[in-house]
Amino acid sequence: MVFALRRRETHSDIESDGGRANGGQKEFHTEGTEEADGGHRGVRSPAGSFRCVLRAVSARKLQGTGGLRGMTGLWQSQPVIDALVFIFGLMFGSFLNVCIRRLPRHESIVTPGSHCPRCPTPIRARDNIPVVSYLLLRGRCRACRERISPEYALVELLTGLLVLGCYWQFGITLAGVKWTLFSAMMLVLVFTDFHERLLPNRVNYFGLAAGVAFRPFPPGPSPGGCCPLKPTSERSPARS
């Protein structure tokens, strides 16, 4: 009986001490909050500092979301899309230069890599940027310093303009792909005929196979039918 009474007294003392400790924590938290809100005295409490950090992180996230939305809108703008299509055309023109030089000689268009037409030095990636590298190097090879024909840059520019024109006329459609391939084949045939007086059979056979493959599909719009450079009001009306 006496042992039970002593145990209850001990338990009550512990609860009272715990209450004082909790009360002290509450007082400390209240005082720290009041001092943090005042901003003129005392040290900010850990809880207040943590809340400030959370607010700062939330504000940063909101700013980052707005920036991503702005970047997404920029990449979807029409001038940026036109520039990307033109850059793709320049890179495609660099490949056509390889076809123009190697197909009449029955060489592989895959290996070896691009090299100087005067010396066998391989062309580095920084020197193989369409048009830009030619202008930076002033039309010369970095290794042997011999002049490089401006025809390389001309073919790249013509291909870029042709690809951009097909995109303006037909958009990203099957007709656009068809006319892009046709323009590229004509460009290769014209320049190989100018140099070698020869029309490579590889290009002819590829054109024949492409024509048969595209034959089941309906043709695209007529030339000038949807060109964005010409307003609708200025287009000539259809004749009856």
- pLDDT grade for 165, boundaries at 50, 70 and 90: very high
pLDDT of residue 51: 65
Q: Quick check: 19 pLDDT over 70?
A: no
Q: What is the DSSP string of 130-152?
A: TTHHHHHTTTB-TTT--B--THH
Estimate to the nearest angstrom the gap between the alpha carbon of 86 and the chain centroid. 13
* Mean pLDDT to the nearest integer, 17-25: 46
- pLDDT grade for 83, boundaries at 50, 70 and 90: very high
> In angstroms, rounded to a whole number, what is the distance separating the alpha carbons of residues 76 and 79?
9
- Tell me if residue 182 falls in helix, strand or coil: helix
Q: Quick check: 3 pLDDT over 50?
A: no
- pLDDT grade for 1, boundaries at 50, 70 and 90: very low
pLDDT of residue 144: 87
* Mean pLDDT to the nearest integer, 115-125: 83
* Mean pLDDT to the nearest integer, 72-90: 87
pLDDT of residue 35: 42
pLDDT of residue 39: 45
Predicted structure pTM score: 0.61
pLDDT of residue 176: 92
Range with top average pLDDT, 21-30, 32-41, 62-71, 179-188: 179-188
- Pull the structure tokens for residue 70: 């702005």
Residue 180 or residue 35, greater confidence: 180
Range with top average pLDDT, 6-20, 88-102, 112-126: 88-102
> In angstroms, rounded to a whole number, what is the distance separating the alpha carbons of residues 70 and 63?
11
pLDDT of residue 229: 42
* Mean pLDDT to the nearest integer, 22-27: 44
Domain parsing of the chain, residue ranges: 78-221
Q: Are 130 and 94 in contact (CB under 8 A)?
A: yes
Tell me the pLDDT of the chain averaged across its residues. Answer: 74
pLDDT tens-digit series, residues 190-240 = 999 998 888 999 999 999 999 899 888 776 554 444 444 443 344 444 443
- Cα 218 to Cα 80, 178, 226: the distances in Å are 30, 11, 17
Residue 207 or residue 41, greater confidence: 207
